[in-house]
A and B are shown apart, each in its own frame.
Chain A
Amino acid sequence: MTGFLRRRAFTSLLPLIAVLLGVFFLARLTGDPANLYLPVSATPEQRQQFIERNGLDDPVWAQMWDYLGGVLRLDFGESLRTGESAATMALRAFPATLQLAFSTMLIAVVGAVVIGSWAAYRPNSLADRISGFLSMTAASVPDFWFAVIGVWVFAVGLGWLPTSGVTGGMASWVLPVATLVIRPLGVLTQVVRGAMVSALSAPYVRLARSKGAGDLRVVTHHSLRNAAAPALTVAGDLMVGLINGAVVVETIFGWPGIGKLMIDSILGRDFAVLQACVLLTAVSIFVLNILIDIGYALLDARVREKVPA
């Protein structure tokens, strides 16, 4: 397992470096921050002062070395907008995104297991068709649409929920989580259903049934474990998507997470903060992928056996 982890870490290092450099250069293609940070009436001298103060007059390669050196010392530079350390800002925003992503995923997984198993238990029944239709729809409707409709119906129309925010107690979690959960729930339900259909018809399940195991026991103790591996892989991918892509939901609901910070940094040409956000996200996705691999190996002996200790 250690060897597996070591190899996995090594192969993930290259994409990480590519992301690091990619965001550095792409950010610099988006325009000169001096335009945004100086008043439109700034004199050429003030402009030059700003550029020099922020090291923007160095050749881009020198800026890159400077940046990489900083990363090694865990110094990610300062925000142009707020003057705070970029790392502090990114780390402060990240827990909010993680909380949103993990609660969403928890609900999606539990929901998908229940609905998927129920549908798979009686394939092609009315229940199966309804869940199939709903999960297909859920998997294909864009986030922002659900978000805006949710606000109109539940906050403005019915007045049951706050429109946005994080500080209004659990009620303020409902709309953001509900918006985010729809797609993973739809996708996972389909995966669980598919895996459960084949698990339920496997010989060992028939054997268990013939030995007198009840319906509930067959589903929970015999089939779910075998259905879990493919679901876990898909859940991992969806989780990556949640961490990476909560941007729209965070912006609409004023959720102070990393997605919103990234968007603000892009619009504000706040390179240091953008770079810190992207790097933090990339590292966490890298860690998440390793966790998924481990989980996968733990669940499926065949995978584990292929992994030399």
Chain B
Amino acid sequence: MLSPPFSRSRGRFGVVGVLALALLASGCTVANSEYVTGGGAGGLRIVLPQEPPTLEACQSSLTATGVVIRSNITEPLVERDADSGELRPKLATAWEQTSDETWTFTLREGVTFTDGTPFDAAAAAFTIDRAVNSDLGCEVEGYVFGDTDLDVEVVNDTTLAVSTPEPDPILPLRLSFVEMVSTRTSATEKVRVPIGTGPYRVADWQAGQRLSLESNPSYWGDAPAYQNVNYVWRAEGSVRAAMVTNGEADIATSLAPEDGAGELAVAYRNNETTALRMQSDEPPLDDLRIRQAVNYVIDRNTLVRSLFENLATPAGELIPEGIVGYNPDERVWPYDPSRAKQLVDDARADGVPVDTEIRLIGRTAQFPRIEETIEVIQNELEKIGLNVKIQMMDTSTQLTYQIRPFPEDTGPYLLMIMHGNQAGDAAFTLDQYMLAEGYQSSWGTAEFDSLIDAAEALKGDDRQAAFEKLWPYEQEKVVQYAYIAHMSAILAKSASVSYQPDSATGDEMRLAEMSPVS
């Protein structure tokens, strides 16, 4: 009566045995996989915040993709020096403007792709057609070329002519974003793994776990110092930092000051600038005085000192030093709360509805301590008599407010943005953020538009001088933005690796510049 009718062993099997069997049955692939750490003999280990969604070369303007492939697996015709902004030869050895609309490139000889096909003018033409003129919907097409199609002509094996419908003084710079791929690449579909000419090629990609590169034995240039490179990804900044301090990784990127990398942390300028964009088509933000008041009441020095730990500098324009068009005599709005309050009071006296609720929109995790930054700004705006409500959004939701077409009937809002001009020329910023109808611009003036257009058509010193004048003009006549700070980034680097990050590192981390400390 006390014994159940089924056997005792089956009874236990029901609880523990099922679990144990299921554990075995689920396949110990994870537990058993051998991890070639790549450390020690000739290997380098890098931890990134996220897995690249794809390594398709024409998606290289995506940060997560570009940081792995650009100049590592694939290479462009010319590359931009991150410090000087000058263009340097890569797969092209020389280039010149041969007519108003045409640039002619002389290509490097003796270069082959890792699948054995030669790199020549036909391959370059194939790549440009595929990335810019096709229906693939490549990231680089929209990011760099807008809706402009290029006319590509193979003159001979080592000469390529590229023409634009309108004269384009910075075409070589734009082409520095097009990573060359083998002619065996599908022209009708995006591919996950590119075949390039770079110092590395993909050895093994275990989706979700790690990505391994090995050096390209037939590389045309100097062989890189590391034979193998392993990328892994961890979402938590503190874990990434700990991996370097713990000896599990050699380099960790995208860290915040509080992530704990300690003395292994390296801060570097990263071309990113934070700013509040003012949606100026609705009251009270359509009143110039209110927009000026917002500018006067942001205490940039205190933000930089206390929240950004001095890893940033107060900004008076949307691009930092090193970008063509940067104004070295940058004027930063002074912190003057009483002046700001006076401006708001004046506007109120004139019947401007200053009590209208204004949303202050931030993107979660856009930069370290964004929440605190937003709170400080809200507090200051409240003090001068504006009615400001904070709204934090995730990336996708925030982007609906950042890019056209903007949502309608949403009331006035201030939008925190962070802009990184990785192309090195102010035109990429001005077109999007400053033209009245720019994709990320809430308003502008016809006069400002014509000044921008005129500046962008110029070359050399004239171009620089014309761009420089645009920034003070924007501050005085347009005031769409309250610039906050030129930012810095932090990476953690093991003492055994020699590497000097530069302003392009966040988008293009060149493995060939890394070497073991001897």
Contact = CB atoms under 8 A, between A and B. Distances in A.
Interface stretch (B137-145, B306-314, B469-477, B487-495): B137-145
A96 interface: yes
Interface string B59-92: 0010000000000000000000000000000000
Given A31-B396, A36-B396, A40-B440, A295 B235 contact: no
Contacts of A130: none
A165 interface: yes
A235 to B, nearest CB: 8
Contact of A295 (B15, B53, B248): B15
A41 B432 contact: yes
A252 interface: yes
A41 B146 contact: yes
A228 B142 contact: no
B142 A41 contact: yes
B328 interface: no
B19 A43 contact: no
Nearest to A97: B26
A168 B332 CA distance: 50
Interface stretch (A9-17, A68-76, A100-108, A134-142): A100-108
Given A41-B143, A49-B135, A156 B242 contact: yes
Contacts of A40: 143, 399, 402-403, 432, 439-440
A49 B4 CA distance: 67
Contacts of B31: 99, 166, 170, 173
Contacts of A148: 236, 238
Contact of B54 (A81, A110, A163, A167): A81
Nearest to B397: A31
B260 A156 contact: yes
Contact of B30 (A96, A164, A261): A96
Contacts of B29: 95
Contacts of A23: none
Contact of B233 (A32, A84, A254): A254
Contacts of B135: 49
Given A151-B238, A163-B239, A170-B31, A82 B15 contact: no
Contact of A46 (B30, B137, B236, B243): B137
B99 interface: no
Interface stretch (B202-210, B347-355, B384-392, B502-510): B202-210
B359 interface: no
B235 A299 contact: no
A145 B260 CA distance: 17
A43 B147 CA distance: 7
B450 interface: no
B246 A162 contact: yes
A59 interface: no
B236 A252 contact: yes
B23 to A, nearest CB: 4
A204 B2 CA distance: 8
Interface in A52-76: 53
Contact of A301 (B4, B19, B234, B236): B4
Contact of B248 (A93, A165, A268): A165
B500 interface: no
B232 interface: yes
A97 to B, nearest CB: 9
Interface in B387-411: 394-397, 399-400, 402-403
Given A82-B53, A98-B26, A166-B209, A254 B18 contact: no
Interface string A240-282: 0000000000011110100011001001110000000000000
Contacts, number: 190
Interface in A199-251: 204, 221-222, 225, 228, 231-232, 235, 251
A22 interface: no
Q: How large is the interface on B (under 10, 10 to 19, 20 to 34, 35 or more residues)?
A: 35 or more
A227 B246 CA distance: 44
Interface stretch (B6-14, B153-161, B217-225, B454-462): B6-14
Contacts of A221: 8
Nearest to B440: A40
B424 to A, nearest CB: 16
B110 interface: no
Contact of A156 (B23, B50, B139, B245): B245
Nearest to A169: B35
B446 interface: no
Contacts of B397: 30-31
A225 B242 contact: no
Given A30-B396, A106-B16, A251 B235 contact: yes
Contacts of B28: 99
B364 to A, nearest CB: 10
Given A36-B396, A298-B6, A232 B235 contact: no
A263 B142 CA distance: 28
B477 to A, nearest CB: 25
Contact of A95 (B19, B30, B54, B235): B30
A50 interface: yes
B234 A82 contact: no
Contact of A35 (B2, B245, B403): B403
A43 B30 contact: no
B190 interface: yes
Contacts of A109: 15-16, 19
A156 B54 contact: no
B403 A167 contact: no
Given A95-B26, A173-B31, A251-B236, A163 B242 contact: yes
Contacts of B16: 106, 109-110
A298 B14 contact: yes
Contacts of B41: none
B27 interface: yes
B246 A232 contact: no
A78 to B, nearest CB: 11
A165 B142 contact: no
Contacts of A1: none
Contacts of A307: none
B297 to A, nearest CB: 28
B30 A99 contact: yes
Among A50, A110, A156, A291: residue with most chain B CB under 10 A: A156
Contacts of B208: 92-93, 96, 256, 260-261
B98 to A, nearest CB: 28
B33 interface: yes
B248 A163 contact: yes
A283 interface: no
Contacts of A254: 232-235, 239
Contacts of A123: none
19 contacts: A30-B397, A40-B399, A40-B432, A41-B143, A41-B440, A43-B147, A45-B147, A81-B54, A83-B54, A83-B190, A98-B22, A105-B19, A110-B16, A163-B243, A167-B35, A168-B248, A222-B2, A228-B11, A253-B234
Given A102-B22, A151-B242, 9 more contacts: A38-B137, A41-B146, A98-B22, A99-B31, A102-B19, A235-B15, A256-B207, A264-B50, A291-B18
**Which 9 pairs show the lowest CB-CB distances between chains A and B?**
A256-B208, A167-B35, A42-B142, A39-B142, A81-B53, A39-B143, A35-B399, A102-B23, A98-B26
